Structure 1
Amino acid sequence: MVEGLKRIDWYRLRSHDGYGDDLPRLLRQARTSVEPHEELVRHLCGDESEVSEATAAAWPFLLDLVAHDNTPGREWLLENVCGAIAVAGGSGSDGVHPSWPPAWEASKPALLALLDHSAVAVRRGALFVLGQGRGDSAPVLAALAPRWDEETDPATRLCLVVVATEFAGRGDEAALSWLRELEVPDDEPLARMLVSAATRPDAGVVLRGLTGDLGLFLETGQFEMGYDEVLEHVLWLVRPHDFEGMDLVLALVDVLPWRTEALDYLRRLFERDTADVGLVVPYVPVWAADPDVRLRAFAVWLVGVARARQYRRLVEAAVHDHAVTSLGQRVSSLATSVLLDLR
């Protein structure tokens, strides 16, 4: 590492906190101490869409640090520094310096080597980083296959599938083919759910996975997936802008544990783009009469977004509905506001 650091003119490289002249010292100190970690974050990590030229230059040295068992706080570096850089680098933003893509591609052998590490946290961390990056998926998929055969930790096996679905979700046909050929045992329902979502199955397969025990997602370490994040990931894979995807969302509305998340997703979807709102409007009369205040409030809101004046009488009736949602929203107040908008 020391000789490699000397070969770079850090004084000419912009970091996220000035120039990169402090980076050689911080990287050397990080071999024996956690003290420079926060400074490394300040220099190397911008927002979620920026990678500086100094960060790209420091990237191989960071991977060298996390590869050594005697590096203090190695897992922290992998998750909080390498992970943040990978997320920003995979954003496709103009804020990513042109030196990042070649640095990323050159680092893949080092990252893939970490998949065979004895520490589960290191394997999961490396998988998270790999899933966030863009570029050539071929070497990654080639490494995932033998790892799938060898991996025994359930959460890490799920991470392997998440990496492939990340590529597939960005339209990578090679990743889709890899997932279609992957043999997933029946006792790994969450992995089967992700494979199914990524390869466009019937909604029932995904629904069975989502309504099962999702606790394993919470064990995947760096992913920090809660139930709502799992749903977001699956909906991203299924692409609810097509009818099959909308079928899945509507099916989730009928499942009590997922109702709030599904309605929130529909609300965000239609706030951004009302192109598919007509697929859901026919449900307004049913939802407006439902005992669940969440559905009644959503039905009223939907009439306003879709400008569905044919349901004006249902909204007028809802003016007398004084039930309150979990967000403190009165159906009556919402209905009054929608009626004003429909004038």
Structure 2
Amino acid sequence: MSQDLSPMVDNVPWVSLQHHYGSAEDIPALLLASATDPDAFGELHNKVYHQGGGILSAAPPVLPVLVLWAHDPGFALRDAAIRFIGDLAQTARKADPEYVNAAWPTAWQEALPRLLDLLSDPDPVVRRAAASPLGQAADQVAHVLPALLARWHEELDEAARLKYVLAAAQLLRDTSGEWPVEVIDWLSSLRENENPALRFAGAMAARHCGLGGRDPRHVDEAASYLSTADLAVWHDVWSVGRRVVGRLLWWTNDFLDDDRDGRTRLAATLLGSADADRRTNALTTAAAVMERWRSPVTTLLPLVANRLSDPDSRQRRSAASILASAGRAAAPWTAQLLDACEDEPAVALPALQALVKIGAPEAVGLVADLLDAPGHTLSRSAGCNGPSLSNLLKLLRPAAAQLLPGVRRRLTSSSMLVEQRDLLLVLANWGPDARDAFAEITSFIGTEAEDWALDALIALDSEEAREAALPAVVAAKDVPVSTRAAVRRWKVTGEPGELLVHLQADDPNLRQHAEVLAQLGPAAARLADRVRDRTALHRGWALVELQYALWRMTGDPEDGLSFATATRLAISSDGVFGRYCIRAVGNLVSLGTLAAPAVSVLRPLLTTDVRPTRGIPDDDLLCETVREVLAAAGSVSPCHRSPSSTPPN
């Protein structure tokens, strides 16, 4: 390090400034240490930038030091210093003005000429890095765009040229001023460039800034380039390692954003690529498209299924996992999935999961075989996408009678607490269908697994099971009494008094007990006024849950209408995300025709192409649930599950 930082550090009142971890009084020492210590530089970045969100008072006086380092050939982390500047500049551009320190705009304007000088630096790594912060200077496009264009014509480094194109597109997108004609001509001319990487970058730049709208040629250029191109230059663009293919494809999809047809066509093209890495990432792209929109399933799912016979096991595993996520839509490929169950475990387990969700009869026997397979643990999974055997068992509750003997044998022979827990949770999930396991469950009373055994006994819903659970439930005198313990005692004894006293004593947290109150129903009617008071404090799905509890407690049609209205408002304002919301929608069935206020927002959930909830299985479950609600409300006739639906958990 050849520069003296003292003048820039000593004259700043650091004690009165703040970074994301508190007082900035430690910044001078970090600045001095960062000159030679990469760890200190990382700590400086974390404290001043953290994860973005705002520019605090320590950032403006740090900026000139970063600019100084960016220009200093003796500083080992020049490109990192420039990226640090880019992080701060991006935060300042995106954050609400109230979260940007008042000194930042002046510091940024003073730094900009020096950043522009970096475009002429002898080091191509520095020139590449400089494009990123310059792309954030939307308030200075009159100076930055001409500089990028002029330098582009002189630049010999391909990665730097690509970054100038992308920085210019960023500036055009973010500026509120008139676009310079010469810059538009520059970006438009790239479609004729002899360099395929520049043609591709030009297409993505045009899509990013809105030049040419949704021109299909953008997608054609991306599909052509990504299918066959040598992507080595993008390692230099992003300074990344081996995962450049995945990042480039993610980046392309981000630029295409809500172009459903374009992203579908891109995924379809890349799924036929000869390169294994491109096919792997194309499968991820196809999954993301199908999870966001309904219509692309008919185009993309057959192409995904073709990859079940790919020579690369990564493709087969990904294809099986995607088919598993597609629910009953994967039914046409039952035979191929059965073959995949003979593959290595990383492929076989998601293939088996797909068969379970399809409802294939063969899946029951395959899961039963795994139960008795030596060395196959219940939690074994095929990577991050693979299912656990215990989850497959929960999905197969309709086949409980066939699977119960194997579960009982496994439970009796198991000596591992985690496995005992998983099996008891499965039996609790199966409820009365697991009554033949009564003896095995009761054998765990008085052991470390007692908690899960008690829940399984209660779920059996028989007098015999309640009598077996009673001594342990009564003996468990929590101090203070937990809601879980009080619920158990109510379900075992049938007496809600202790639970009601507990809920009443926890009055400020009644919202957290809404599900229990709904289960109590009329038995909790004396708490109705307290719950009604709480409804004024909540909105969205929290309010829906409280209104449902109130309806179950009182049976008052006015409370029912309030529940339906709250659901309508929650769907309109917050959308439907995850099974928590889907269950809340399903509770409308209990209203019958009183659900009418929600009908107007429920119908569009069936017709929209954009999935209202995340993933195909949840979307299928939502559609089935909505149809049941509409039927109960008298708006449609009851209908069967759609072909792409999954069985209920």
The answer, yes or no, to whether TM exceeds 0.5 is: yes
CA distance, structure 1, for counterparts of residue 193 and residue 338 of structure 2: 50
| Separation in 2, partners of 1:336, 1:171 | 52
Aligned partner of 1:152 in structure 2 is 156
C-alpha displacement of 1:270: 4.4
- Could you tell me how far 1:156 is from its partner in structure 2? 1.5
Q: CA deviation at 1:77?
A: 4.3
What's the offset of the Cα at 1:239?
2.6
Aligned to 2:120: 116
* Residues 121-162 of structure 1, C-alpha deviations (whole Å, 9 max, x = no match): 221221233346665544322211001011112221122123
Give distance in 2, aligned partners of 1:89 and 1:313. Answer: 50
- Which residue number in structure 1 is paired with residue 296 of structure 2? 279
CA distance in 2 between partners of 1:326 and 1:115 (Å) = 52
1:19 corresponding residue in structure 2: 23
Partner deviation per Cα, 1:285-322 (whole Å, 9 max, x = no partner): 56546633368536624632xxxx5x464265455233
The change in CA–CA distance for 1:318 and 1:162 in structure 2 (over 3 A counts) is same
Structure with the largest fraction of helix: 2
Matched residue, 1:251 = 269
1:233 is aligned to 2:237: no
Deviations, residues 241-270 of structure 1 (Å, cap 9, x unaligned): 332332222222222422211221232344
Cα pair distance change 1:98/1:318, threshold 3 Å:
farther
What is the CA RMSD across the aligned residues, in angstroms?
Answer: 3.8
Moved more, 246-255 or 217-226: 217-226
Q: 1:281 corresponds to which letter in structure 2? A: T
Q: Residue deviations 1:186-230, cap 9 Å, x none?
A: 442111101113324423222222221111111236466711111
Match of 1:189 in 2: 196
Partner of 2:223: 207
Q: Distance in 1 between matches of 2:344 and 2:205?
A: 34
Greater C-alpha radius of gyration: 2
1:303 aligned to which of 318, 326, 330: 326
| Whole-Å separation in 2 of the counterparts to 1:256 and 1:95 | 51
Rounded Cα–Cα distance in structure 1 between residues aligned with 2:180 and 2:91:
21
Instruction: State the 1:114 CA deviation.
Output: 1.1
Higher mean displacement: 175-184 or 186-195: 175-184
Q: Is the 8 A contact 2:55 2:91 kept in 1?
A: yes
- 1:228–1:111 distance in 2 versus 1, CA, 3 Å: same
1:4-153 maps to which residues of 2 (within 5 A)? 5-27=9-31, 33-34=36-37, 37-70=41-74, 72-75=75-78, 77-78=80-81, 81-86=84-89, 88-89=91-92, 92=95, 97-99=100-102, 102=105, 103-131=107-135, 135-153=139-157
Quote the Cα distance in structure 1 between the aligned partners of 2:302 and 2:195: 39
Letter in 2 for 1:251: T
Unaligned stretches of 5+ residues in structure 2: 207-214, 311-315, 360-394, 396-644
Contact 1:196–1:205 (Cα < 8 Å) also in 2? yes
Corresponding position: 1:342 with 2:622: no
- Alignment gaps of 5+ in structure 1: none
Partner amino acid, structure 2, of 1:178: V
1:266 and 2:286 are equivalent in the alignment: yes
**Structure 2 length as normaliser, TM-score?**
0.45
Letter in 2 for 1:261: N
Q: CA deviation at 1:281?
A: 2.5
Superposition deviation, residue 5 in structure 1? 4.3
SS in 2 for 1:178: helix
Q: Percent identity?
A: 22
